[in-house]
Each structure stands twice: as C-alpha cells, then as structure tokens.
Amino acid sequence: MKVLVVGSGGREHCLVWKIAQSDRIKEIFCAPGNGGTESLARNINIPASDIKTLADFAKSEAIDLSVVGPEVPLVGGIVDEFLRRGLKIFGSREEVARLEGSKVFAKEVMAKFSLPTAEFRIFDDKRQAADYIRTRSAPLVVKADGLASGKGVFVCESTDEALAAIKIIMAERKFGDAGGRIVVEECLRGEEASILAFSDGENILPLASSQDHKRIYDGDRGANTGGMGAYSPAPVITEALNQKINSEILQPLISGLNNEGKKYIGMLYVGLMLTDSGPKILEFNVRFGDPETQAILPRLKNDLVEVMLATIEGKLDKVTLSWERRPCICVVIASGGYPQEYEKNKEIFGLNQTEKLPDTFIFHAGTRREKEKCFTTGGRVLNVAALGDTLDKAKARAYQAIEKIKFEKMYFRRDIGWRALQR
C-alpha cells in the first residue's frame, strides 16, 4: 500500500512511525512533513490546508490510503473532497468535523443529545456577553467559537479576566473570524483526561486513556498551550468510569448523529473534566490528539493500518485492540517564549545521541533538516516519549533523553505525569 499522511507535527511523525510498522506498507508520503518524518516517508511540499492539491497528488500517485492529522483540513472538507474523487481516506466528514470547528455547534450537540457538560450561553454580541458575565460568579470559561490553534479558550478567575477575554476575542479579533461568536460557560473543577476512540459510524472502539498537560508551566500554571506533554494510561480512568463514558457520552453521540444521517467515521477525541458529579465534556476534537497520540501509539500492539481500514469499511466490531502493559510518557520540548512569540531557525544538537536509547522515541514537531543539521521551525519542537515498567521509570527515561538534546532557549516542563505519580 501507498499511504499519505497529511500534517507536519509531532502527531504526524508518530502516525508515520506507527504506519511504517505495518507489513502492508510499500511507501509513505507526508505532506508537508517535518525533519523527523523524512527519515520514514517522502515529504511532499503541499500545505495541509491545500485540499485540492493534496487530492490531485493522491490521485496522480495512486495513494491507497490517506490519513489526516490536523483539524484544519478536516473542518475544511478534505474527506468529502477525497471521497468525491474515489480516494480512500481516514478522517471525519465536514458536517461532523464541525464538532471541533465550532464550539457553538459542539455545545448545541451536547445539549441536543443530553450529554454531560458545563452550563453555557452563546453570544454574538460583545455587550450582551459582558452584561451576562457581570451577573455571574467567577471563575468562568470564555471560548472563541472557531479554530484558534488551541489558544482560543480563556479560564478566567475573575470577572475582569472574563471581560478582558471578550475584548481579545470579539473586539480585537485576535483569532479573526473564529471570534465572531463566543461560548461563556461555568468553570468545571476536577481532573482532566482524554478519551480517543475509533468510530465507523455505528461501532466505537476506544483507545487507551491518556492525560494531557495543557498549561505552559510546572504545576499546571500559566497560559494554555497546544499541550506540553501527556501520558498513558491515565490511572484516574478506571474500568467503571470507562464504561460510564462509553454509555453516557460516546454511544449517545455517535447514535444521535447517525439518527440524523451524519455518520461519524474516523477518530473522535473527547476532552473530559472528571468532576464530583461525574465526567463532563470540555471539548470534542475530530482527530488524533496531540501530544496524546505520542503517548498512546507506542503502547498499541495492533497494526494501525488494519484498524484504520476496518474503521473506514464499517468493520470495527471485528477488531480488538491490544496494548503494551507498560505506561508511556511524552514530554514536549518547546521554543522559549511559546505559546506567545518565539524565535525559529535554532540549530538542534544531540539528537544522534538519543537514537540508541532503549524504549525511547523522538517525534519531531516543529523541525526541518538541512543535510546533516536540524533546525527549529515551530513553537513545539520535539516530543520525547518513553516506555517504562512504571510511569516513574518511563518519566526518568524520557528526561534522560532530553538531557542529551540542546538548542538555544529550549523549554520543557519537568513535571509531566505528576498527577498520576501523586496518585
């Protein structure tokens, strides 16, 4: 088989790495790819957002399966375009990709199908939103409606912070058209966890649980980011809780959409807050999580290509996932200044010293190669993942690898996995 992976981050490098292990693979392409994917795939200089050119390439190259990593092309309708051209693709169609593309649509779906989530109100007028916030007690959460690269959510500890968030989103339009509408909701308290699941439109097959660290600083402080690390499994997700999530969230969502003629086929990500009154939905994503994927896939024993094909063909009921017993931890190495302004084109040193470390995997995110050298190109630069007999040992192994890597102003959290270890 010839496979095309769309995207350029750490998730995509991890997907390429896992797909390359399949006996069915003849050749892998990655568009546009990064400095890590090029060691396993042929990087193709087509942006992930250029849907028509990607479809042209897949048709001309006779690609057998395309796999979409990021949300932008999914929300933009890449799956619909590929299917129109008779191309096999793993991902969700545009009409259901709105679960991630629009916070408003997602909350309306949660309300329609009686899925557990925070109380919320939707606004398209900044004055009405401000008036409402003044009547509510903080903390509150203010969310831009559209895609904002993981940065359009403000957890506000005071009324002033919530009013400032409205100004940033709706008046200053920091996120462009994504800020045309906002969701204001109660701030849920508890422990966060992520559930990823394959869905063929009727059958649901959850992956191993994981927990993401979104805040920039140790102790889960500071600004929200796209994710500073993750680990799998998340001990907070017990078998009983798994069953509750499946029966109260996953099944009602997929069945509800199906009853409306909207088949959800692909990967579904549910961000949860585990509150005292049970699990509640924070967000939906319509693709593999990043960096959760980099902590989950090293534990998956199945051929990922076979599972994806079963998903597309409506045969998930015939699949059982098998997992490595050992936990995995993934630590993100970022550019100094991320998630705000940061510098690029810093040379990365020491990567060759990590190649022979046991049960350690370096997934590139924001990198490019020039001959024998590697340089930074993004805010999140590298993902260092490691397996260990215990989470503590996996963590030690990951940070041991990080010690060998250097670039100017590199930054990483030193406490990834702290909640599980505290437990």
Q: In 3D, which of 247, 300, 268 has the Cα closest to residue 201?
A: 268
What pLDDT, on the 0 to 100 scale, is given for residue 149? 78
Question: How would you list the strands of the sheet with 191-200, edge to edge?
Answer: 204-206, 191-200, 265-275, 278-285
365 in Cβ contact with 383 (< 8 Å):
yes
State the Cα–Cα distance between residues 11 and 290, nearest whole angstrom.
6
Which domains does the chain carry?
A: 2-94 (3.40.50.20), 119-186 (3.30.1490.20), 191-318 (3.30.470.20), 328-422 (3.90.600.10)
Q: How far apart are CA 207 and CA 296, in angstroms?
A: 8
CA distance linking residue 117 with residue 278, whole number of Å: 10
Distance in angstroms (rounded) separating the CA atoms of residues 230 and 293: 9
Q: What is the dihedral of CA 388, 389, 391, 392, to 10 degrees?
A: -90
pTM: 0.96
End-to-end Cα spacing for the chain? 44
Spatial separation of the C-alpha atoms in residues 103 and 268, rounded to whole Å: 15
| CA torsion through residues 143, 117, 238, 247, sign | negative
Give the CB-side neighbour count of residue 395, counting CA atoms within 13 A.
16
Q: Which long-range contacts (CB under 8 A, 24 or more apart) does 78-81 make?
A: 78/6, 78/51, 78/54, 79/266, 81/51, 81/52, 81/55
User: Residue 375: how many CA atoms within 13 Å on its side-chain side?
Assistant: 9
Q: Where are the alpha helices (DSSP H) in 102-206?
A: 103-112, 126-134, 159-166
Report the C-alpha gap between 423 and 408 in whole angstroms: 35
Write the CA distances from 324 to 152, 261, 327, integer angstroms.
35, 37, 8
Helix, strand, coil % in the chain, rounded to nearest 5: 35, 30, 40
Q: What gap in Å lies between CA 339 and CA 66, rounded to an integer?
A: 30
In the prediction, which pLDDT does 317 show? 97
pLDDT score at 145: 97
- Identify which of 119, 147, 145, 142 has the alpha carbon closest to the alpha carbon of residue 129: 142
Q: How far is CA 99 from the centre of its chain?
A: 14
Q: Give pLDDT, residue 226.
A: 87
CA distance 339 to 150: 10
Q: How far apart are alpha carbons 102 and 313 in whole angstroms?
A: 28
Q: Specify the pairing of strand 27-32 against strand 2-7.
A: parallel
Please report, in tens digits, the pLDDT of each residue of the chain (423 residues total). 999 999 999 999 999 999 999 999 999 999 999 999 999 999 999 999 999 999 999 999 999 999 999 999 999 999 999 999 999 999 999 999 999 999 999 999 999 999 999 999 999 999 999 999 999 999 999 999 999 877 789 999 999 999 999 999 999 999 999 999 999 999 999 999 999 999 999 999 999 999 999 999 999 998 888 899 999 999 999 999 999 999 999 999 999 999 999 999 999 999 999 999 999 999 999 999 999 999 999 999 999 999 999 999 999 999 999 999 999 999 999 999 999 999 999 999 999 999 889 999 999 999 999 999 999 999 999 999 999 999 999 999 999 999 999 999 999 999 999 989 987
- The residues, any chain, with a CB within 8 Å of residue 397's CB and separated by 6 or more, are 357, 358, 359, 360, 386, 387, 388
Return the pLDDT at 422.
87
